[in-house]
């Protein structure tokens, strides 16, 4: 068990309460026997206070239990699941405090719950240990929901960016570069910016940056990064300082974020940095021009990458933040897929769904995503090109129709080679739901016949689309369901005829 002070107090309080209740003693009766106030005993049982040795001795005598057994962290059968829960990382990853939930009260409720509920708790913990829940899945899912509840737009951060621009005299007409942000970080926040030292350590070459906050703050940047990637990181570092955010990771790597607070702060600084590099008024104007084009024009979006000095992901994330508020395009998904040339695996590494029930990416880890999506097809197109460099992008659009439903999406995807690994590609995709005439009127190029229309699904395992050339595995999950149905029908027939 994790021996944090909070856990020790919580376990001790639960044991005292359970022993008191097993002896049919009220709070006041035990307080009287142990010669302490009712309020103090209540604080002990709720895990807020841990008594001194003389008080523990008094409690052990009043409860008729050995002193060592009372202070031991060994738990009986009923409380054992609570110990497992505290020992796991599940509670750390749930943003309970952000939703006004007192962890101690939640634990107290579970401690008094029937055995069946404790079995459920144990089951969830076991699942968490064996699945991606143990890798921040709880926190990341909560973060995605947080973005969805806010319609992916954060006015306070937008305002903070505007104030930052005015304070440091950053014109919206000029694109922001690494040199511009580096100068602000050095002159106003006393940073040293080093983009050479990190690469002297082979073990650290996969990291984007490392921050040291000793005597003088220093940020070590990977010199393999492009100008826009370095700019994005410096924009985040400026946000941490300007917004006075202290709960953070000092390693720029997704695996280093291990709590909801750090994930939320990472979201805020990423949003700040992206908004800094892509001013709201300018992108609103550019996106409006894009939607008014009568023909699909992928080149227009690629030119925006150069105009703002940003990555495809930053551009799509920014569009995803302004589309609901300023264009009422509030039903969409954002995906980032990565493809490994060696394993031939596609992995969904980032997702956001706003106001859509269908999950275009599929919930099913370990299964094969539908290859008919533009997200994956655009990566294959990039892989087929003879010339490959980090500045190369492929872009495409597709109208995606979910089979067996009326759900239809305009999916726009950009793919590129990953900066640190030439055998790895990634694509980012924005998919706007086409569900009424209002959306069709806003996106003028939807009628462009050059945009392919494809029937799509979630994963191959759960799709029985006939004659699918892109299929990579048989629909085994559907076969299993059919087998279960046949067995049930046979059982029903047996019961009727016998």
**Angstrom distance (rounded) from CA 312 to CA 127:** 35
Least confident of 16-25, 99-108, 155-164: 99-108
8 Å CB contact between 86 and 2: yes
For residue 133, what pLDDT band results from cuts at 50, 70 and 90?
A: very low
pLDDT digits (tens, 9 = 90+) for 411-433: 999 999 887 777 789 999 999 99
Place of tokens 């699942």: 127
Q: How confident is the model at residue 21 (pLDDT cuts 50, 70, 90)?
A: confident
Averaging pLDDT over each range in 89-93, 255-259, 461-465, which range is the top one? Answer: 461-465
Select the more confidently predicted residue: 406 or 167.
167
Residue 471 reports pLDDT greater than 60:
yes
Q: For residue 311, what pLDDT is reported?
A: 93
pLDDT at site 144: 79
**In the structure, what pLDDT confidence band is assigned to residue 147 with cuts at 50, 70 and 90?**
confident
The pLDDT of 382-411, averaged and rounded, is: 84
Residue 134 has what pLDDT?
45
The pLDDT, as a whole number, for residue 214 is 79
Longest CA–CA separation in the chain, Å: 88
Domains in the chain, ordered, with CATH?
5-137 (1.10.260.40), 145-277 (no CATH), 314-481 (no CATH)
Least confident span in 99-108, 113-122, 201-210, 468-477: 113-122
Q: Which residue has the tokens 């990382």?
A: 89
Q: What is the pLDDT at residue 149?
A: 83
Is this structure's pTM higher than 0.85? no
Span 483-491, average pLDDT: 91
Pairing type for strands 345-354 and 218-221 reads unpaired
E strands present in 208-264: 209-212, 218-221
pLDDT surpasses 60 at 385: yes
**CB-based contact 360:332 (threshold 8 Å):** no
């Amino acid at each position: 068990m994790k021996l944090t002070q909070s856990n020790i107090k919580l376990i001790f309080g639960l044991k005292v309460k359970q022993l008191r209740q097993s002896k049919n003693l009220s709070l006041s009766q035990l307080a009287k026997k142990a010669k302490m106030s009712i309020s103090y005993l209540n604080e002990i049982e709720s895990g807020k206070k841990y008594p001194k040795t003389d008080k523990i001795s008094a409690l052990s005598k009043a409860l008729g239990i050995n002193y060592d057994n009372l202070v031991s962290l060994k738990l009986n059968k009923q409380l054992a699941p609570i110990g497992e829960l505290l020992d796991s990382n599940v509670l750390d990853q749930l943003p309970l405090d952000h939703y006004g939930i007192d962890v101690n009260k939640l634990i107290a409720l579970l401690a008094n719950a029937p055995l069946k509920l404790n079995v459920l708790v144990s089951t969830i913990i076991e699942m968490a240990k064996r699945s991606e829940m143990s890798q921040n899945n709880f926190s990341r899912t909560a973060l995605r929901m947080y973005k969805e509840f806010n319609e992916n737009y954060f006015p306070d951060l937008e305002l903070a960016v505007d104030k930052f621009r005015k304070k440091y005299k950053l014109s919206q007409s000029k694109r922001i570069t690494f040199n511009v942000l580096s100068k602000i970080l050095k002159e106003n926040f006393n940073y040293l910016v080093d983009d050479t030292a990190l690469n002297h350590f082979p073990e650290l070459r996969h990291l984007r940056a490392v921050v040291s906050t000793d005597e003088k703050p220093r940020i070590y940047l990977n010199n393999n990064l492009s100008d826009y990637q370095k700019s994005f990181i410096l924009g985040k570092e400026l946000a941490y300082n300007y917004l006075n955010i202290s709960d953070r990771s000092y390693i720029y790597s997704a695996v280093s974020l291990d709590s909801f607070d750090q994930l939320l702060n990472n979201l805020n600084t990423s949003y700040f940095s992206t908004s800094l590099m892509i001013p709201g008024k300018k992108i609103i104007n550019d996106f409006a021009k894009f939607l008014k084009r009568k023909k699909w024009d992928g080149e227009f979006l690629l030119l925006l990458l150069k105009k703002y000095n940003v990555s495809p992901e930053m551009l799509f994330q920014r569009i995803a933040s302004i589309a609901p508020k300023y264009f009422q395009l509030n039903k969409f998904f954002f995906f980032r897929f990565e493809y490994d040339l060696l394993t031939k695996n596609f992995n969904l590494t980032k997702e956001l769904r706003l106001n859509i029930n269908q999950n275009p990416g599929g919930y099913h880890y370990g299964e094969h995503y539908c290859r008919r999506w533009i997200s994956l097809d655009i990566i294959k197109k990039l892989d087929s090109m003879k010339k490959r460099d980090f500045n190369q992008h492929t872009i495409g659009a597709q109208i995606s129709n979910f089979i067996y439903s009326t759900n239809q999406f305009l999916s726009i995807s950009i793919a590129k080679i990953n900066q640190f690994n030439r055998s790895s590609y990634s694509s980012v995709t924005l998919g706007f739901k086409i569900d009424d005439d209002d959306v069709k009127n806003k996106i003028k190029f939807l009628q462009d016949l050059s945009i392919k229309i494809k029937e799509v699904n979630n994963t191959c395992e759960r799709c029985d689309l006939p004659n699918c050339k892109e299929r990579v595995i048989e629909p085994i999950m559907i076969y299993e369901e059919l087998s279960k149905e046949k067995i049930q029908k046979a059982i029903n027939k047996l019961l009727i005829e016998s």
